Amino acid sequence: MTDYMQKIQNSLMASIETLLGELRRNNPDIASDRWSMEYALDQNFVQSIVAAMNPVWHRVSITTKKLISEITTLKQFLEDLYKLDSVSFYHNIKNYIDEHRMSLNQKESLWLMIPESTATIACSTDRVFRKIGTKEGNTQKNYLLEELPKWEQLLFILDEINDEKRLKDSSDDGPIVIGCSSRRICCQLEKVMHSYRIQQLKKTRCYSFKRIMESELKYQQWKKSSGSIMRRMNEELKKVKSNSNIADEVTVSKTFTRASTRNSDRRRTRGGSVMARHNRLLNLTTEVVDEGDKDLENSDVDKLNSYGEELNDTADFKGMKLDAIEDSPVHLEVEKMSCAFIERADEIIISTFDTIDLEEIMPSYIICYEPDLTFVRNIELYQVSLKPSKCFFMYYGESVEEQMYLNSIKYEKDAFTKLIREKANMPKFFNTADDEKIRFDGNSRNLNSQTRIAGGSTVTVKSNKIIVDSREFNSQLPFVCFLGDIEIIPAMLTVGDYILSDEICVERKAVRDLIESLENGRLMKQCENMFKWYKKPVLLIEFEEGKSFSFDPFTTGYLTRNSSKSVSNYELEQLQLRIAALIASFPKLSIIWSSSPFETAKIFKELKAVSKEPNLDYSLAAGTGDLISGSRFNEDALNFLRSIPGITEANSLLIINKVQSLYEFCQMSEEDIGAIIGRENAKKVFDFLDAKYN
């Protein structure tokens, strides 16, 4: 911070401390320990004072209310000191003085009566209008027009980023994001990016923002001149009205006023005298303010006019008129703006904290122009889940801005500490097998009940049986099925993981296992084997309980074993395409999406309610090629049939359903084969079978 900013900060803090002491003295019964400078920088400090006074607000004095209002104003001045330029801050102070300098309607300011306010006003004025010399031997004087130190530091950071990009390949880099607290600061930084000037002082590069400050002065002068014009117009209108001819007024006949009551006989209304006094004060205020503020406003306008004449005389600003804001380079015209393509790595995005979506923008450099704890936590989540970015954190050292940020960190730490202690003191619950069974009994209906029996009584049936591959006992699902009153039969299965019946075979895949099986093609082979031996193959995709029921890489950690590794949208699209290819290859494949093992167990119970018990011998023989064990097809004959040109895996099933043996198939004519598998494929088969050896 500059010396003037430090002095203004100290004087404002001293003023707040004085007003707080006066507030405690006027309200000793309500005052608490939190009415001190230790908590004065909290965002909800004033709200807490108002909340404490709400029960007795009807008895609170006007002085107390004014003290609360002025503490709020001084806290706003502290924030404006770090955010606004010196000209805007000075006019905020001046507007406050103009509003409270008169003693009408009890508007006098208590802050203006204490000595610390004088230092704030003097320093804010010197930041703008203190005259300085430009060069040795030059008698020309310029105003200081103090610039915010953050502006130059921001451009230094951008230079550092550009130098870093030159030393490496930046084609894959994202844009630069600058976060601010409000839209006004964003517009201010846009002006800074557009209107800065580079200066070389003794081999040191620095930046000048004099054009921004001068344009702000022009704008303030225009506001003053427009106000004085309106004031003169009002005075002229009053003179014309007072000098108007009385004869020109419309004469009203007594016939129309005979029924009207006299003013002295009219009924008095509640609050009528208050409204009358209010109207008189408004008229009086207008007259007094017009006369009392004239000297102060004229002095400011003279300062601005004199500074404008000095600007017009200088070589750098020759031809620029101070009266026209449109001539300022900062205020762009729509007609002069041009559009051009900008590479993603060259983009600079300036936006507020609440509108920045880091997951969508995916920047490589993040500049936090003002300290904001919520935005910092969002940056941490973005760097852990997606990609690491280089961050720059800007704040004024040894300032109220830094202290407010440290306070927010302290409150966050205290909140987590309190949460940990509360959780440690909470009672602990331990689940037993009976508790887990309640999840099935309470949330699922009895699927074996027959409501057609009188009274709706249930009929007891034999327990459900499921054949489970012994390798599946590493997962949680077999135990959860046991809790759901399902009898588990362990076996070493070649095809499938869970056999619900002689027709239903289930291949269970966790999300990680599903991704690996799709990548190496193992799942395609497993589905092919299930279709050979079972009528109703099922693919079960099971998610973990308590995690997102989605393939979205931004919300789950399923897609990578290392959660810090980033997952691109391309990899996610490849996963979806592989699943689509699987469905296209096996259209009759049933897919079950389950959010947890408990949901899977409920689905198994519903499927078992309408199916028969599985055959253990058939399940063990499936996939082994043993014909005696009851295999449905002759594997050797089927492999020979599929080796004939024109016969594929799809049309071989059509031939098996209509032809009993290979001998019968070879005795068929080309027309008969074409009626089953089509003419083109039939011609290939017939040419192969009818071909000679030589």
Report whether pLDDT(578) > 70: yes
Per-residue model confidence as pLDDT tens digits over 239-285: 776 665 444 444 444 443 444 444 444 444 444 454 444 444 444 33
Mean pLDDT score, 201-218: 76
| pLDDT bracket for residue 455 (50, 70, 90) | low
Q: Residue 300: its pLDDT value, please?
A: 53
Mean pLDDT score, 15-27: 91
447: exposed, middle or buried (Cβ count in 10 Å: 0-12, 13-18, 19+): middle
Q: Residue 579: its pLDDT value, please?
A: 87
Type of residue numbered 156: F
Report whether pLDDT(119) > 60: yes
The percent of residues in the chain predicted with pLDDT above 70, rounded, is: 71
Q: Residue 320: its pLDDT value, please?
A: 37
Report whether pLDDT(5) > 60: yes
Q: Residue 368: its pLDDT value, please?
A: 93
| pLDDT bracket for residue 433 (50, 70, 90) | low
* Sign of the alpha-carbon dihedral angle for 97, 103, 107, 111: positive
Q: Residue 431: its pLDDT value, please?
A: 66
Q: Residue 612: its pLDDT value, please?
A: 84
The most confident of 195-204, 561-570, 580-589, by mean pLDDT: 580-589
Q: How far is CA 638 from CA 505, 662, 684, in A?
A: 22, 9, 18
Q: Which residue has the higher pLDDT, 562 or 129?
A: 129
* Nearest CA-CA partner of 351 in 115, 181, 122: 181
| pLDDT bracket for residue 555 (50, 70, 90) | very low
Of 153-162, 280-289, 419-428, minimum mean pLDDT range: 280-289
Of 4-18, 39-53, 134-148, 574-588, minimum mean pLDDT range: 134-148
Q: Residue 686: its pLDDT value, please?
A: 85
* Helix H or strand E encompassing 205: strand 204-208
Report whether pLDDT(352) > 90: yes
Q: Which residue has the higher pLDDT, 48 or 206?
A: 48
Report whether pLDDT(682) > 70: yes
Q: Residue 202: its pLDDT value, please?
A: 67
CATH fold label, 635-690: DNA polymerase; domain 1 (1.10.150)
The most confident of 16-25, 295-304, 386-395, 578-587, by mean pLDDT: 16-25
Q: Residue 311: its pLDDT value, please?
A: 46
Mean pLDDT score, 367-375: 92
Which residue bears the tokens 């078992």? 608
Q: Residue 227: its pLDDT value, please?
A: 63
Report whether pLDDT(496) > 50: yes
Asked if 75 and 16 count as a contact pair (C-beta separation under 8 A), the reply is: yes
- 3-state class (DSSP) for residue 475: coil
The most confident of 201-215, 271-285, 602-616, by mean pLDDT: 602-616
Distance, CA of 216 to CA of 638 (rounded, Å): 89
Mean pLDDT score, 637-663: 79
Report whether pLDDT(135) > 70: no
Q: Which residue has the higher pLDDT, 360 or 544?
A: 360
- 3-state class (DSSP) for residue 590: strand
Distance, CA of 84 to CA of 216 (rounded, Å): 11
**DSSP letters for 613-659:** PPPHHHHHHTTTT-TTTT-SS-HHHHHHHHTSTT--HHHHHHHHHH-
Mean pLDDT score, 78-106: 80
Q: Which residue has the higher pLDDT, 456 or 387?
A: 387
Of 98-102, 374-378, 629-633, 651-655, minimum mean pLDDT range: 629-633
Superfamily of domain 147-233+343-423: P-loop containing nucleotide triphosphate hydrolases (3.40.50.300)
pLDDT averaged over every residue in the chain: 76
The most confident of 189-203, 209-223, 526-540, 630-644, by mean pLDDT: 526-540
Match domain 464-550+572-621 to its CATH number in 3.40.50.10130, 3.40.50.2000, 3.30.470.10, 3.30.2320.80: 3.40.50.10130
Q: Which residue has the higher pLDDT, 180 or 689?
A: 180
Q: Which residues pair with 348 in a beta bridge?
A: 176
Per-residue model confidence as pLDDT tens digits over 175-203: 999 999 999 999 989 888 888 888 776 66
Mean pLDDT score, 152-181: 87
